[in-house]
Structure 1
Amino acid sequence: MNILQKLRNKRTALKLGIGVLAVIALILAISGNWLAGSGTDAPVAVAQAQRGPLLISVTESGTITNKERKLIKSEVEGSTTILYLVPEGANVKKGDLLVELDSSKLQDQKTQQQITVMNCEASFIRARENLAVTISQGESDVAKAELAYKFAQIDLAKYQEGEHPQAIHRADADIEIAGEELKRAADKLDWSRRLEKQGYITRTELQADELAAKRAKTNLDLAESSKRLLIEFTHQRQLDQLRSDVTQAAQALERTKRKVAADRIQAEAELTAKESELKRQKANLEKTENQIAKCRIEAPVDGMVVYATTGQQPMRRTEPLAEGSQVRERQELIYLPTDLAMQVETRIHEASLRKVRVGMPVRVTVDAVPGKIFWGTVSRIGLLPDAQSAWLNPDLKVYTTLVDIKDQDESLRPGMSCHAEIIVEHYQDAVYVPVQSVVQVAGSPVVYIPGKDHPIMTPIKIGLDNNRMVRVIEGLVEGQSVLLSPPLDRSAVAVDAAARDIPATLPALAAPAVAQSQPAQQPNAMPFDMAKMRQMTPEQQREAFQKLTPEQREQLMKQFGGRRRPREPGQGRPPQ
């Protein structure tokens, strides 16, 4: 069923295309005068140069909008749903509710954010108390290490200045006492020997005195050995130990100070991080609360409600605002006009942009107000092409233009469709011809005047055009006839004397000139170079097709009639 429907649609489109071509051919036949040209019997369409008032204007469709208005946008992040929407056209006062957006998700997010903030507050308090404990513990550790270092220094000084000299003195005293005891034992032994010889003491008593003398000698040797050990070994060992204790205490003090500083820095960093996190979570909570508040949009000023979707251009039309619709962040919702001043928002094609200037008068007609003309002036022309239009069609470049309407009429409403005719120039007395009769040869405009045997190429100087008529400044006079379909074959054109200085450069699609002695072009030969045609833009193809003579057009139709219906170049793909 779908295939049959598609076939019917294609047949309908084909019939419609054939009908349009027939109507165009009929209009050309009626609008022109038919003369014989190029020595053949084929009729040629001509037009006469006319003199009179000529209006040069650019007409574009547009939309009526308020000149001074307050724009209401959605400031809620992401996509939300409209729960309430004030009716369009309602008159509201400042503070009245315009739009209420769904805030259920934001309410849940607020609850979760409040829990997060409380956890962050607890972490922050814990980090703050931990810093205080770290500082106190560090001070205690440093004081303890300093005391240990001080004690080590005192022990070293005590040994060097007290204990060691005292030990040396004690050793000297022991040596001296042992020496005296040895001397007394030796004297007693000497007397005991004398007495024993005389028989006053026994042999046993003498042996006891000899043993006492040996004991005294041994004690003296031990005292001297103890002093030598004290000086050579014990003193050095004790001195090195005490010096090492002082060094170790100093290093321990330094390590303690560094560790205390590192612990404090870490505790401070943790406190700073917890504080920053707490502030960030509080900011998120405040942002969420602010987003919830923005779900209720109230009127900032008094005015009449106009939906932003009303009167949009067709290419950027979006879904009309309604309760239940989805809106995104920064989407325009409502306009609140602040006065009755109106303006027209239109878009000018890049081809007409060179004609339009700020301050030019504009004649505005509104479809809803028939028979009435409103006047205004161009107030602003966009510096860059409209982004939305360029995105939808990269080949289309239009510039947003605003027109201020001078009259304040209550019949005008925002969103009304209108036509803005920008008055570029208004000549009271000008000579003009149809734009299709003028072609460019070697970069200069020329027209072809019917001659006795051949069309005569005549250079002219032109001014502005209104897409229908072009003003002729020099080269033609009123009533002079020009060809509406200038020939492309240079060999069949007699050049006027005034045009002999123009270089003999033919348009890209023109066939090369042939000598008079060569035979005429065969009926089935191509009237132009197909390779060059494929390299041309659609605009150049359309212009070249319009310049074809009736014979060349008929030849082109015969050439492609067996394969497909010929289309005007530029209206699709060129013939292959």
Structure 2
Amino acid sequence: MMKLTILATAILAAAGIAWVSVVPNDSIDSLLDSAPTHTISRGELIVSVTEQGTLESANNTEVKCRVRGSNTITFVIDSGTDVKAGDELIRLETLAIEEEISERTKFYHLAESQVARSAADVERAKLAISEYEQGRFVTELSTLQKNLAVAESLVLNAKNRLKHSQMLAKSEYASDLELEEKEYALSQAQLTLQLTETQIDVLKNFTKQEELVRLTGALKAAEATWEADVERALADKKRLERAQEELGLCTIVAQRDGLVIYPDGEEWENAPKIEEGGTVNKDQTLLLMPDLTQMQVKVGIHESIIDRLESGMESNITLNREVLSGEVTYVAEVAKPAGWWTGNVVKYDTIVSLPPTAEGLRPGMSAEVEIVLARHQDVLTTPTSACLEIQGEFICWVKTRSGAERRVVELGDSSSMFILVESGLNEGEQVILDPLANVPGAQQEAAASLRGSREQEFGFEDL
């Protein structure tokens, strides 16, 4: 319930008392007869709040900067321009990106050449394994097998010679020295045979495995080097392609026909301005292309009544002397930052939608928005100017045949002009407007209440 305050000051009240004390009774009656009144009646009480807002589109196509880092604007289209699809909207400085493309191209070509070299190393490593298994190993094994056959032949030959010498020695045709030579030749042939057999065994079971491990490791190392070179080349290629893509993104064209406007930044935001020579950053909104068939009004609602607002409330929007119907579609949960630019007044952003049939609307237009907070049907109402709040009670003065009758009333919801009467007044009764000016008793009561409150404030009530 909206609180009413005493409109008179102590000086006015004191002056009223002094004035009443010297006014004759017939003058008082004349004052009451001429006092403006209002007849209490039943009707509809509409409680609303009115604020100024700004028109905007509910569906904006954002044109954002997609180039990394900070970029300088070399051209930007004027805000409010109607464009066609394909028209140039904004252009960014390209010198740094062109230099980057040159560097990235060089790095990419070097990486590609390294990939070719490492790929050749992989093929060589694969061939080395096949060359060993089917070439060097077979050759070495064949050589040892030939040596083995020779050694076996020598052993057999040495045995035959020793046997022949032993037969001759029995007949004393061979000396002991000759016999020893034959035995020594046999032992040497047997050692050569054993050595050759050992060499074949080592070649098959150890040398071959060791060489294959070495060659396989070399192949894996070559493959790892090749994979790293490929990844490096792909990374350089992506960097080059990204730089080439960003070069194309430096020129932004309209994707569809429509209106182009600059985004509005709030006072507390420190976003770079959209202007030629200005610097913008990646993902910053550069331009907006609003959908003019889906318009809405953004207003700031004072924190004192924000709890009464909710989506779906009906609204009346005045634009260019034309009144349109709308409804509340969004109420912010958090207030906008308050500061010197708002007079330290805390307000909450509220969105009011407009009907799609509205024509000739453009973002940035001013609008007066009346949001209907409540509709009270068939209720008693009285003008707010007919009531005073005195010592926590609401007082009205009813005009009767015998004079002004003081009434204590209970009040409810209120608009800027009228307030709902819950009890204390009846339909058809006439309440006196502006009682401080038209009811002497109201002047005296208000002055006494004001004087008592001041005595309590300064601690004089016990003196």
Give the TM-score normalised by structure 1: 0.56
The CA RMSD measured in Å over matched residues stands at 4.4
Residue deviations 1:448-487 (CA, integer Å, cap 9, x gap): 579xxxxxxx9x9x987779999787xx5448xxxxxxxx
Larger radius of gyration: 1
Residue 290 of structure 1, aligned match among 241, 245, 255: 245
CA contact (8 A) 1:341 1:408 kept: no
Give the match for residue 215 of structure 2. Answer: 260
CA 1:400 to 1:268, structure 2 compared with 1: closer, same or farther past 3 Å?
A: farther
Residue deviations 1:374-406 (CA, integer Å, cap 9, x gap): 321123445x647x749999x999765432112
Residue 331 of structure 1, aligned match among 277, 284, 303: 284
Question: Which residue identity does 2:83 align to in structure 1?
Answer: V
Task: Please report how far the alpha carbon of residue 181 of structure 1 lies from its aligned counterpart in structure 2 after TM superposition.
Answer: 3.9
CA contact (8 A) 2:169 2:179 kept: no
Residue 364 of structure 1, aligned match among 317, 324, 330: 317
What are the within-5 Å matches in structure 2 for residues 217-232 of structure 1?
219=175, 221-226=176-181, 229=184
CA contact (8 A) 1:374 1:407 kept: no
Residue deviations 1:401-422 (CA, integer Å, cap 9, x gap): 4321127555543113444333
CA 1:27 to 1:140, structure 2 compared with 1: closer, same or farther past 3 Å?
A: same
Residue 249 of structure 1, aligned match among 179, 189, 203: 203
Structure 2 residue matching 1:108: 3-state secondary structure? helix
Structure 1 residue matching 2:140: 3-state secondary structure? helix
Residue deviations 1:55-82 (CA, integer Å, cap 9, x gap): 3445555321123442211211111111
Structure 1 spans left out of the alignment, 5+ residues:
1-24, 35-49, 183-215, 439-446, 451-457, 480-547, 557-576
CA contact (8 A) 1:127 1:271 kept: yes
CA contact (8 A) 1:149 1:253 kept: no
CA 1:254 to 1:319, structure 2 compared with 1: closer, same or farther past 3 Å?
A: closer
Residue deviations 1:305-327 (CA, integer Å, cap 9, x gap): 21113xx4444475542211111
Q: Distance in 2 between matches of 1:150 and 1:470?
A: 119
Give the match for residue 364 of structure 2. Answer: 415
CA 1:86 to 1:172, structure 2 compared with 1: closer, same or farther past 3 Å?
A: same
* Residue 249 of structure 2 corresponds to residue 300 of structure 1: no
CA contact (8 A) 2:87 2:254 kept: yes
Q: Distance in 1 between matches of 2:91 and 2:253?
A: 9
Structure 2 spans left out of the alignment, 5+ residues:
15-39, 396-407, 427-451
CA contact (8 A) 1:389 1:396 kept: no
Residue 156 of structure 2, aligned match among 140, 154, 165: 165
Give the match for residue 144 of structure 2. Answer: 152
Residue 106 of structure 2, aligned match among 109, 115, 131: 115
Question: Which residue identity does 2:9 align to in structure 1?
Answer: A
CA 1:319 to 1:172, structure 2 compared with 1: closer, same or farther past 3 Å?
A: closer
* Residue 73 of structure 2 corresponds to residue 93 of structure 1: no
Question: Which residue identity does 1:144 align to in structure 2?
Answer: R
Give the match for residue 102 of structure 1. Answer: 93
Mean Cα deviation higher: 54-63 or 84-93: 54-63
CA contact (8 A) 1:302 1:338 kept: no
CA contact (8 A) 1:430 1:472 kept: yes
Task: Please report how far the alpha carbon of residue 97 of structure 1 lies from its aligned counterpart in structure 2 after TM superposition.
Answer: 0.7
Q: State percent identity of aligned pairs.
A: 23
CA 1:277 to 1:317, structure 2 compared with 1: closer, same or farther past 3 Å?
A: closer
Q: Distance in 2 between matches of 1:418 and 1:378?
A: 15
Q: Distance in 2 between matches of 1:57 and 1:298?
A: 45
Residue deviations 1:251-288 (CA, integer Å, cap 9, x gap): 12111111111111111221222122212211111111
Q: Distance in 1 between matches of 2:83 and 2:229?
A: 48
Residue deviations 1:74-98 (CA, integer Å, cap 9, x gap): 2111111111111222221110111
Give the match for residue 275 of structure 1. Answer: 230
Structure 2 residue matching 1:413: 3-state secondary structure? coil
Structure 2 residue matching 1:307: 3-state secondary structure? coil
Give the match for residue 377 of structure 1. Answer: 327
Q: Distance in 2 between matches of 1:240 and 1:465?
A: 121
CA 1:74 to 1:276, structure 2 compared with 1: closer, same or farther past 3 Å?
A: same
* Residue 125 of structure 2 corresponds to residue 141 of structure 1: no
Question: Which residue identity does 2:457 align to in structure 1?
Answer: R
Give the match for residue 400 of structure 2. Answer: none
Structure 2 residue matching 1:322: 3-state secondary structure? coil
Q: Distance in 2 between matches of 1:287 and 1:264?
A: 34
CA 1:466 to 1:294, structure 2 compared with 1: closer, same or farther past 3 Å?
A: farther
Give the match for residue 458 of structure 2. Answer: 554
Question: Which residue identity does 1:336 align to in structure 2?
Answer: M
CA contact (8 A) 2:86 2:256 kept: yes
Residue deviations 1:90-144 (CA, integer Å, cap 9, x gap): 2211101111111111111111111111111211222122222232233323431
Q: Distance in 2 between matches of 1:97 and 1:137?
A: 61
Question: Which residue identity does 1:241 align to in structure 2?
Answer: L
Task: Please report how far the alpha carbon of residue 244 of structure 1 lies from its aligned counterpart in structure 2 after TM superposition.
Answer: 3.1
Mean Cα deviation higher: 314-323 or 417-426: 314-323
* Residue 9 of structure 2 corresponds to residue 29 of structure 1: yes
Residue deviations 1:423-460 (CA, integer Å, cap 9, x gap): 231113457899xx99xxxxxxxx6579xxxxxxx9x9
Give the match for residue 126 of structure 1. Answer: 117
CA contact (8 A) 1:145 1:252 kept: no
CA contact (8 A) 1:71 1:335 kept: yes
Structure 1 residue matching 2:317: 3-state secondary structure? strand
Q: Distance in 2 between matches of 1:378 and 1:131?
A: 70
CA 1:418 to 1:169, structure 2 compared with 1: closer, same or farther past 3 Å?
A: same
CA 1:401 to 1:179, structure 2 compared with 1: closer, same or farther past 3 Å?
A: farther
Task: Please report how far the alpha carbon of residue 33 of structure 1 lies from its aligned counterpart in structure 2 after TM superposition.
Answer: 9.3
What are the within-5 Å matches in structure 2 for residues 231-242 of structure 1?
234=188, 237-242=191-196
CA 1:403 to 1:224, structure 2 compared with 1: closer, same or farther past 3 Å?
A: same
Q: Determine which structure has greater relative contact order: mean sequence separation of CA pairs < 8 Å that are 6+ residues apart, divided by chain length.
A: 2
CA contact (8 A) 2:316 2:371 kept: yes
CA 1:96 to 1:277, structure 2 compared with 1: closer, same or farther past 3 Å?
A: same
Residue 351 of structure 2, aligned match among 382, 402, 410: 402
Residue 176 of structure 1, aligned match among 157, 167, 174: 167
Structure 1 residue matching 2:67: 3-state secondary structure? coil
CA 1:152 to 1:98, structure 2 compared with 1: closer, same or farther past 3 Å?
A: same
Give the TM-score normalised by structure 2: 0.69
Residue deviations 1:350-394 (CA, integer Å, cap 9, x gap): 76554333222122345xx3x543321123445x647x749999x
Give the match for residue 342 of structure 1. Answer: 295
Between structures 1 and 2, the one with greater strand share: 2
